[in-house]
């Protein structure tokens, strides 16, 4: 009888664990972003400014909302992965809401705890996000020249838990030109 009760308790625990894990997985699926590439990241320019090279991108939310029914939450911040050479050559980071008036950002190249489920790599964090459907301009200046890489890695972090962070490939820095 004692052995039967132990088996029953084990079976109940296993059943409860399977049910709990199944429930967790279905909740996780509901929270996944159905449109992971819906934000638009575009290289606007790559210019030589004196001895520096300046890269400018726009990030646009084409369907702002609360993240439900195909809408996208505002972006909290944009993180880009840089090669060690680009990290060493980074001179400044800026943002603009109109592409004309620019504001300096502190240069943060480190792990971003808010996207720890997406990457453990160091990233350049542009700690300013979108507001509705207006494009947000980001600019990084380097004291070296780099090739253009169509598959540079970035992460978009939204303000809430519905969409989390998403991996985006964009036209960014490739290898250093010698």
> 56 pairs with which residues across the strands?
45, 139
User: pLDDT for 127-174, tens place per residue?
Assistant: 999 999 999 999 999 999 999 999 999 999 887 654 556 888 999 999
pLDDT of residue 43: 97
> Which value, in Å, is the radius of gyration of the alpha carbons in the chain?
22
User: pLDDT for 41-73, tens place per residue?
Assistant: 999 999 999 999 999 999 999 999 888 888 888
Which carries the bigger pLDDT value, residue 150 or residue 35?
A: 150
Contact present, 47 and 11 (Cβ < 8 Å): no
In this prediction, residue 108 has a pLDDT band, given cuts at 50, 70 and 90, of: confident
Query: Which CATH number goes with the domain that contains 168?
Result: 2.60.40
Domain span including residue 24: 1-31
Q: Of 8-22, 34-48, 111-125, 131-145, which one has max mean pLDDT?
A: 131-145
Instruction: Report DSSP state, residue 1.
Output: -
Q: Average of pLDDT values for 100-121? A: 92
For the chain, the domain total comes to 2
* Domain shared by 98 and 126, yes or no: yes
Which carries the bigger pLDDT value, residue 161 or residue 16?
A: 161
* Domain shared by 106 and 118, yes or no: yes
Q: Which two tokens stand for residue 25?
A: 């997985």
Which carries the bigger pLDDT value, residue 1 or residue 50?
A: 50
* Domain shared by 82 and 27, yes or no: no
* Domain shared by 58 and 14, yes or no: no
Residues 25 and 47: their CA atoms lie apart, in Å, by: 47
Phi, psi of 124 (to 5 degrees): -85, 120
* Domain shared by 6 and 61, yes or no: no
Which carries the bigger pLDDT value, residue 110 or residue 22?
A: 110
Residues 102 and 139: their CA atoms lie apart, in Å, by: 9
158 sits in which H/E element: strand 146-158
pLDDT of residue 115: 86
| Residues contacting 24, CB < 8 A, separation 6+ | none
* Domain shared by 89 and 138, yes or no: yes
Residues 24 and 138: their CA atoms lie apart, in Å, by: 37
* Domain shared by 13 and 87, yes or no: no
Phi, psi of 84 (to 5 degrees): -55, -35
Residues 60 and 110: their CA atoms lie apart, in Å, by: 24
Q: How many CB atoms lie within 10 A of CB 89?
A: 20
Q: What is the pTM of this model?
A: 0.77
Residues 63 and 48: their CA atoms lie apart, in Å, by: 34
């Amino acid at each position: 009888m004692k052995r039967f009760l132990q088996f029953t308790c084990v079976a109940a625990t296993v059943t409860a664990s399977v049910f709990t894990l199944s429930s967790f997985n279905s909740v996780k699926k509901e929270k996944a972003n159905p449109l992971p590439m819906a934000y638009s990241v575009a290289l606007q320019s790559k210019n030589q400014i004196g001895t520096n090279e300046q890269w400018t991108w726009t990030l646009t939310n084409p369907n702002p909302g609360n993240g439900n029914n195909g809408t996208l939450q505002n972006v909290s911040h944009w993180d880009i992965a840089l090669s060690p050479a680009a990290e060493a050559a980074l001179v400044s980071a800026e943002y603009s809401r109109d592409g004309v008036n620019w504001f300096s950002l502190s240069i943060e190249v480190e792990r971003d705890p808010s996207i720890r489920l997406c990457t453990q790599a160091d990233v350049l964090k542009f700690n300013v996000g979108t507001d509705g459907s207006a494009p947000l301009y980001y600019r990084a200046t380097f004291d070296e020249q780099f090739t253009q890489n169509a598959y540079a890695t970035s992460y978009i972090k939204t303000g809430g838990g519905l969409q989390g962070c998403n991996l985006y490939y964009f036209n960014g820095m490739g290898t250093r030109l010698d």
